[in-house]
Amino acid sequence: MGGGKVSYKAEQCVSHWPSHGGQPAALLKRFGLPDAHPIEDFSANLNPLGPPEWVANALTASIASLAHYPAPDYREAREAIAAYHGVTPEQVLLTNGGAEAIFLVAARYAGKRAAIVTPGFGEYARACRAHRLPITYIALSAPTFELDLDALMASLKDISVLFLCRPNNPTATLIPLSTMQALLARTAAIGCDVVVDEAFVDMTVEEGERASLTPLLADHPHLLLLRSMTKFYTLPGLRVGYVLAPSVAIQTLAVHQPPWSVNQMAAALVAPLLRDAAFAEQTRSWLNQQHPLMAASLLTKGLDVVTSTTNFFLARPNNTLRERGLTSNVLFERLLRNGILVRHTHNFAGLDGDWVRIALRGATANQRLLKVLNDCLC
């Protein structure tokens, strides 16, 4: 890892590259392909098994509830989340997706300095800029993207809040628990709060929810965990997430949240989603079966693949292929023309388009991806 400031091209880049995954229309247009061009979408990191089947009926049945305001404190949803994680409801703030949680955290530190580990999810920087936090970027280096704790700490002088993602989007790497424990001890000593985005933690291979830092909350009052119900339950349109933190921190975040930020139908789904142990079990078994197969297969295709701990892979053509002109940009376009959409990395700081991110999908789709990759990499 090279500590300290890095040049940051994210966002200004790339008006012609959409800033998030799952936007095929913009990319088809960019490459002159018709709207009807068939696409298998590997660009959004969503659980391919979801949403759970009962969700559609539950939403239909709850339409009448739209005639009422949601309970302003979302007590029922917060109690369900608290019971699920073994914390108190006062340690939970329900949010309009993980994205709102990020912006509320940035608002809490307005006027102070933030550090962001990169490459990382672009919304941390956008939220910090929106709330006028000067940002120090802390760059992880290819090809392993491992965190060097000493270099990180050297960059945290005068920093009030550090943002990182675990497992990290887009690298799919997981900072080891022992490193996180050391990081939390050292940041406590210098008065720097730590925000860990756990949007993908439920889909950590082997460990699942056990990879969460929730058990560390009790001993680390400067730790805030951001959660999203989007990825695991395949509900990007629903907009539900939450923050887990000490109750004092939750109160100061809530000050910045508009009233009724989460709609009634979404809030009512929280408890039944968390109760759905069968869906969680199916997801774990899909992940633990498909992930090792995909990891091994990608390596045989002539790709550099970052060691992945979750439901996506960061990859690029290896040196030999790149020297022959087969860059990630070329691969991206070939895949798209063959009906496979992966995530470009033009707006991830430090990647700048050199890699592509590939989501793990169901067995049939994964097989098709591997076949098309074969054709595109020769």
Ligand X SMILES: Cc1ncc(COP(=O)(O)O)c(C=O)c1O
Q: Which residues bind ligand X (CB under 6 A)?
A: 97-99, 121, 165, 169, 197, 199, 228, 230, 236, 241
Distances (CA, A) of 368 to 126, 165, 276, 321: 36, 30, 30, 21
Is the distance from CB of 262 to CB of 70 less than 8 angstroms? Answer: yes
CB of 21 to ligand X, least distance (A): 7
Decide whether 321 or 358 has the Cβ nearer to ligand X: 358
The CA distance from 163 to 124, in Å, is 7
Decide whether 133 or 376 has the Cβ nearer to ligand X: 133
CB of 45 to ligand X, least distance (A): 7
Decide whether 102 or 153 has the Cβ nearer to ligand X: 102
Phi-psi region of 339 (alpha: psi -120 to 50; beta: other; left: phi over 0): left
CB of 64 to ligand X, least distance (A): 26
CB of 236 to ligand X, least distance (A): 5
Q: Identify the H or E element spanning 117.
A: strand 114-118
Decide whether 269 or 321 has the Cβ nearer to ligand X: 269
Residue nearest to ligand X (CB): 97
The CA distance from 52 to 235, in Å, is 10
**Number of Cβ atoms within 10 Å of the Cβ of 66:** 11
CB of 121 to ligand X, least distance (A): 4
Smallest CA-to-CA distance from 197 within 286, 122, 108, 282 is with 122
By CB neighbour count within 10 A (0-12 exposed, 13-18 middle, 19+ buried), where does 348 fall?
buried
Is the distance from CB of 231 to CB of 46 less than 8 angstroms? Answer: yes
Decide whether 283 or 317 has the Cβ nearer to ligand X: 283
CB of 200 to ligand X, least distance (A): 6
Decide whether 116 or 369 has the Cβ nearer to ligand X: 116
Q: Identify the H or E element spanning 173.
A: none
Q: What residue ranges in 31-75 does DSSP mark as E strands? A: 40-41
Decide whether 103 or 109 has the Cβ nearer to ligand X: 103
CB of 228 to ligand X, least distance (A): 3
Query: What is the number of helices (H) and of strands (E) in the chain?
Result: 14, 13
Decide whether 169 or 328 has the Cβ nearer to ligand X: 169
Decide whether 244 or 373 has the Cβ nearer to ligand X: 244
The Cβ-side half-sphere exposure at 378, using a 13 Å CA radius, reads 5
CB of 41 to ligand X, least distance (A): 14
- How many residues in the chain? 378
CB of 95 to ligand X, least distance (A): 8
- Virtual CA dihedral for 277, 283, 286, 289, nearest 10 degrees? -80
Give the chain's end-to-end CA distance (angstroms, integer): 33
